[in-house]
Structure 1
Amino acid sequence: MHSRIVTTLFLAVLLIPAGAGLNAKPAPKFALFNAEGKLVTSSALVGKTNLIISFWATYCAPCKKEMPQLVELEKKYGAAKKLSLVFINIDKEGKEKALPVLKELGIANECLFDMYQLMAKKYIPDLKVPAVFLVDRRGQIVFQAVGESAETLARLEKAVAGLR
């Protein structure tokens, strides 16, 4: 009986195409305010665009290094892959602390503010930043990288290039 179950499971795994959503999981929904006080929801974006979500904080030097590189990645693939980039700041002081940093970095992309870190905890329970997620148009997380890594951007670019 045991070997029959193992054989059945083995065959089932063989029938699944490699990488067919095995790692993808639904992205938590969000509703956060931007710098202008407008409520931005994930439901307004999912289905229309592939989305890079970057969680960051003003105290995070690797975040500030990565952010302009993410902007360049969006410029490179935005039109071809229907790709958008949104930054989510997790500083408790909110936009008053974050906006000067965005200006200093020359970043004009949408930035949302999660001062109470309620949304961030759904994506990154330990609140470790930088944290980058790629959500496809179906609302599935198809790539994630939490913490500083030299390979993050190359891996993210490969995932973006593979989007439909």
Structure 2
Amino acid sequence: MILLHAISFAQEQKTIPSVSLKTVDGKQVNTGSLGIKGPIIITFWASWCPTCKREMGTLNELYPDWKEETGVTIVAVSVDDEKTKNNVPTLVDANGWEFMVLMDSNSDFKRAMGVSNTPHTFLINENGEVVYSRNNYAPGDEDLLYEALLKLKK
């Protein structure tokens, strides 16, 4: 049932919900107006989630090429709560992640996007519409994401 809800969100939800979050360095950001041109990959993750960290490492390796080829921007949304949110900046710095990292400590954006488990990744087109959604991560899933990203270029 949970997976069906996540899939139905991608089919029913047309635009990114507007939620106020903070960047790792404390700046306020509204998810409904990120000011990003081109497609956006939004991935929900947590510092305590090994699968999330594997996906984030893979995305970080691919990001420079994907950005150059498609103009995509990756936004990583940490769902770490008050107990673990202080681990996020250290993890981001230690891994050299080049993409925007937002903090969703109260899970407001997570709930608004219909996310139940991490990692959960969305591809948003230039009109702000969800065109791809995947819950969980296994090696090779990035190829499916890339194929969906390439379809936006056509």
Change (3 A) 1:74 1:30: farther
Q: Which has the larger radius of gyration?
A: 1
Contact 1:35–1:95 (8 Å) recurs in 2: no
Q: What RMSD in Å do the two structures reach over aligned CA positions?
A: 2.1
Match of 1:129 among 98, 115, 118: 118
TM-score normalised to structure 2 length: 0.81
- Stretches of structure 1 that go unaligned for 5 or more consecutive residues are 1-21
* Greater CA drift, 131-140 or 45-54: 45-54
1:44 to 33, 37, 40: 33
SS across alignment from 1:55: strand
Q: Structure 1 residues 26-35 or 61-70, which shifts more?
A: 26-35
Q: Does structure 1 retain, via aligned residues, the 8 Å contact 2:19–2:108?
A: no
**In the alignment, does 2:130 pair up with 1:141?**
yes
**Unaligned runs of at least 5 residues, structure 2:** 1-9
Residue identity over aligned pairs, in percent, reads 25
Please state whether the residue corresponding to 2:144 is helix, strand or coil: helix
The answer to whether the Cα contact below 8 Å between 1:124 and 1:131 also exists between their aligned partners in 2 is no
Q: How many residues align?
A: 142
Question: Given the superposition, is the C-alpha separation of residues 38 and 73 from structure 1 closer, same or farther in structure 2, using an over 3 Å criterion?
Answer: same
Range 151-160 or range 39-48, more displaced: 39-48
Give the TM-score, by structure 1 length. 0.76
1:85 matched to 2:74: yes
**Paired AA for residue 74 in structure 1:** Y
SS for the counterpart of 1:138 is coil
Bigger relative contact order (CA 8 A; separation at least 6)? 2
Q: Distance in 2 between matches of 1:154 and 1:120?
A: 24
Of residues 104, 109, 123, the one that matches 1:119 is 109
2:88 counterpart letter in structure 1: A
